[in-house]
Amino acid sequence: GESVGLHLPTLSVQEGDNSIINCAYSNSASDYFIWYKQESGKGPQFIIDIRSNMDKRQGQRVTVLLNKTVKHLSLQIAATQPGDSAVYFCAEISNAGGTSYGKLTFGQGTILTVHP
Amino acid sequence: ETGVTQTPRHLVMGMTNKKSLKCEQHLGHNAMYWYKQSAKKPLELMFVYNFKEQTENNSVPSRFSPECPNSSHLFLHLHTLQPEDSALYLCASSQDLGLSYGYTFGSGTRLTVV
C-alpha cells in the first residue's frame, strides 16, 4: 500500500548545528505535505507545510524541501536548540480520490536529540 | 493547549472493564479523527467523522466504539480490550475533510490495558 517513510530513525546533533530530517513518500497523488513535531507527553504539533506545486518553503528556522521527481521531502532546522529535541513526523494528504482521499498518512518518525 | 482537549490523560483498565475516552474541540472544525500511536509504529488512523457522520472505519475491532454527538465532541468507548491495545490514543480535528488542511491534535490519552 501507499506509505510515507523516513530514512533515519534517529538523529543526534550538537546545539547550534543545522539538522536535516528526511522523508520518502510513495503516493504520487500526494499534493500536500506537513511536518509535525511531537514532544514527550504531547500530541503532534504542526511545524510547516508545503503544497505539491512548490519545491521549497521557509518558516522561522525551518525549511521544507520537496522533490517530487524522487518523492522526497526534507525538513531543515537551522541553529538547532535543545528545545528542538522531539520526534518529527512527515505526513501527507492526497486529494486524488479513492480510499486515501483527505486522510493524513504519517511516516514512522525520526527522533531528534540535541546535545548542549 | 492546541484547542483540542482530551480526557483523561492517562487510563489504566482491566480487560473486562468499560471506559470511554473524550475529545473536545472549539475550533469550529467539522472533521474529527481518532488515531492510535503505538511504540515504533506510524500513527494509525482509526475513525473519521465529518459533520458528525462517520466516514471512515479503518478496520478497527468492534471493542472500540466511536461516538460523535456533535461536531465539537468525539468519544471512543472501550470494552473488553486486550493488552496489545495499550497505546497513546490521539484525537485530531480539521476544518474540513478532503481539503489541504492540517490537523490539530490533542495531547492524547495514554491507555494501559492490564
**What is the secondary structure of B34-56 as a DSSP string?**
EEEE-TTS--EEEEEEETTEEEE
In the structure grid, which three cell numbers stand for residue B18, read together? 468499560
Q: Find cell 473519521 and name the residue.
A: B48
Neighbours of B109 (CB within 10 A): 22
User: What are the residue ranges in chain A where pLDDT is below 70?
Assistant: 1-8, 95-102
Residue B73: partners with Cβ closer than 8 Å, 6 or more residues away: B22, B23, B24
The residues of B whose Cβ lies within 8 A of any Cβ of A are 2, 4, 6, 33, 40-43, 45, 48, 56, 90, 92, 97-100, 102-108
φ/ψ of A84, rounded to 5, equals -85, -10
CB B38 within 8 A of CB B83: no
pLDDT in the model for residue B98 = 61
Residue B33: partners with Cβ closer than 8 Å, 6 or more residues away: A104, B45, B46, B47, B48, B49, B91, B92, B93, B94, B103
A82: helix, coil or strand? helix
Measure Cα distances from B87 to A23, A32, B17, B28, B42 in Å: 24, 28, 16, 28, 12
Contacts of A46 in chain B (CB under 8 A): 102-104
CB B7 within 8 A of CB B109: yes
Neighbours of A99 (CB within 10 A): 10
pLDDT in the model for residue A7 = 45
Per-residue pLDDT of chain B (114 residues; tens, 9 = 90+): 679 999 999 999 999 999 999 999 999 999 999 999 987 678 899 999 999 999 888 899 999 999 999 999 999 999 999 999 999 999 999 988 765 567 899 999 999 999
Contacts of B105 in chain A (CB under 8 A): 36, 43-45
Question: Does B98 sit within 8 Å of A108, measured CB to CB?
Answer: no
pLDDT in the model for residue A2 = 39
In the structure grid, which three cell numbers stand for residue B110, read together? 495514554
Separation between Cα atoms, residue A21 and residue A84, nearest integer Å: 12
pLDDT in the model for residue A95 = 67
pLDDT in the model for residue A108 = 81
Question: Does A41 sit within 8 Å of B90, measured CB to CB?
Answer: no
pLDDT in the model for residue A4 = 56
pLDDT in the model for residue A36 = 94
**Chain A contact probe: residue of B7, B51, B100, B104 with most A CBs at under 10 A:** B100
Question: Does A89 sit within 8 Å of B43, measured CB to CB?
Answer: yes
